[in-house]
Chains A and B, each alone.
Chain A
């Protein structure tokens, strides 16, 4: 299995697990698929293979609010720090759009914060050993 394929499989698993119905939102269909959601997922899949390197090095970590953040820029060569900025920014735009679209598709835009926090926890649960994530209180911890 190529690395790229592995990344896709991993991201797909992430999304599947993240889409498990939420206890707090029994009515929400988190598996809902719209053209916008499909497009966002494809965009995230394409980017994930580039981000894995920075998750592995600890440069980028998963935040508790379902986003990602630069945790330690020193882990990235200078010439790549701008790329990390761009990837993190684009990924967060996608994630914001994903949570918003799922809430919209459920005709409940007001569910977005809950969807976001639930996704945040799912992403962290599914993170690989060695990856960094944000705990309550914003401190970083390593899986």
Chain B
């Protein structure tokens, strides 16, 4: 833009010089300059025509075939004065016009007084628009003033060559004044007081655009003879309008940018500058940067009591839309500061005050986080992070305090006691590293007993009794998957559960997958069946679930086998349980039971219980105690007196149908035997 203004200024100045030369009382002349060149300016084929009527008025026409300023070219520029008056005291161009074909054509008024060294140029591109420029000279000092009334920025934008890479200015109105003070050829001070309204711009793709923007700019630049540098102060108020700068959308609401500084030998020093973002807070900054294009030599940014909800929603969240934080709401206050040196981050300090982080999909929530988090390059720091409570995948979390060691992009937490319901999850040697793959972390630890009653209530699943405890050997997250190296051990239903090969694929993704092999040993059947109101069964069972895969937390694949544990223990089964097992097996199994026989006894003895299910594409391929597939299979093998044997005949059942049957039988606490 500066180059265009220079070109117009040169054009007018050239006219001015030619006018002066024309004042030498030649009634008619024509001049032709083939070529004029300067360091940043070139003009070709300049024709000057002057006609004097000897009545004090004349006509002046100047035509320039081409003007080049750096990479920009304008052709067939024409300046004409239909009423050109001159004498020994003044030169006056009235009814003038300046034309650049295809770009603009508007009236111009030029007035120059010799005695007071006064120049006045009036441009009036339209009825409501005017640009007045005056230049006064007093000995060596001079004062230039530009007054703009309803200046149309789209007119100026029309001077620009079409370039798809550039923002296109489609509208904008400018009012105000610019004042220049100088001595000889040196500029000493500049004062700018401008207001811009209805500003609209966009790039071709619409990814960077603004509409109805209202700005007020007040700037003072002054050259200090004492310090031999420029001092400046600028205040920019963004009062209204909206801007979309991919991917951020912001609307004007009296945001205020205040920049103070000095320019010294090509180095800009930013001093005590600030950006006040309405609804968010004030960011103070200072720095040193080299005009030659080097990155920020020094930069410091600090802010206090920033509304985190506004900062996160308006600035941070648009950049996180492809992450699991895209659906997170954050509120609270944050103080922070950061510093850069030679473009490299040197330090960050974050202080969080009563911050809440809540996932809109309810996968996690962390409440009342208060934290002091320092970070320094090439140093180890310790963050102090406190959280009142929260939940992760519906499991409530209690108050924690985490002294987190930070070294560059590595985090380490020697120990953390995390209250989980009525138990405690003890994490040890937690470490996390940030790399190109994103965050990766690992830890080990143990879960001290959590009552199954509170856990199942929290998970909103069938209530269970007993306790859950676990030894957690080594858990790793590689950027997308969580895997447990070693085995996860639980204690439940008075037996043990060992989980091998546990892997969580994209746990925070849209379709999390869990894979594992599970071996349960010596589960107390009485506890188990009482929990699920299945009908009393005494005994112990082992359950193997191999190749288990859950998608979206529901099973899609496994090979399960339930069988009686080895050893000596009471093996009794109630008639209600037999009825329910039969119902699970489908109509074929029910028919196999001698119902009349069933009526005589409340309980029966058995020698072995067995059930198998291979889940494939929503079908459970069932079997019983026998390992070899036959037309029927044995679910309960009788033993002792009275004994009963239950056989199943349905080999295939839809998984959902099986779940529905299980739900039905567990709801019928008191089955009726007919």
Contact = CB atoms under 8 A, between A and B. Distances in A.
A46 interface: no
Contact of A82 (B205, B249, B322): B249
A116 to B, nearest CB: 15
B511 A39 contact: yes
A74 B556 CA distance: 45
Contacts of A68: none
A70 B248 CA distance: 15
B511 A36 contact: yes
A79 B249 contact: yes
B209 interface: yes
Interface string A101-119: 1001100000000000000
B510 interface: yes
Nearest to A97: B510
A51 interface: no
A116 B96 CA distance: 67
Interface centre among A39, A70, A73, A104 (most CB of B within 10 A): A73
A86 B321 contact: yes
B460 to A, nearest CB: 17
Contacts, number: 87
B336 interface: no
A37 to B, nearest CB: 8
Interface residues of A, number: 31
B1 interface: no
Contact of B207 (A32, A43, A73, A90): A73
Nearest to A87: B321
A94 B511 CA distance: 9
A33 B552 CA distance: 12
Interface of B: 202, 205-207, 209-211, 242-244, 246-249, 251, 318, 321-322, 326, 509-511, 513, 551-554, 556, 617-618
Nearest to B322: A89
Interface in A62-100: 70, 72-76, 78-79, 81-82, 85-86, 89-90, 93-94, 97, 100
Contacts of B206: 72-76, 81
Given A78-B209, A81-B206, A81-B244, A34 B326 contact: no
A137 interface: no
Q: Which of B242, B243, B511 has the most CB of A within 10 A?
A: B511
A87 to B, nearest CB: 10
B511 A82 contact: no
Given A73-B206, A78-B242, A78-B243, A36 B551 contact: yes
B510 A43 contact: yes
A35 interface: yes
Contact of B205 (A43, A73, A101): A73
A40 interface: yes
- Most chain B CB atoms below 10 A, which of A40, A70, A78: A78
Interface in A15-48: 29, 32-37, 39-40, 43
11 contacts: A36-B551, A39-B510, A73-B244, A73-B246, A74-B209, A78-B242, A86-B321, A86-B326, A97-B509, A101-B511, A105-B551
A85 B242 contact: no
Contact of A93 (B211, B242, B248, B322): B322
A34 to B, nearest CB: 5
- Interface centre among A35, A37, A70, A94, by most chain B C-beta atoms within 10 angstroms, is A35
Contacts of A33: 618
Contacts of A86: 321, 326
A98 to B, nearest CB: 9
A39 B251 CA distance: 36
Contacts of A34: 551-552, 554, 556, 618
Contact of A94 (B202, B510, B554): B510
Nearest to B555: A35
A79 B210 CA distance: 10
A35 B551 contact: yes
A115 B280 CA distance: 46
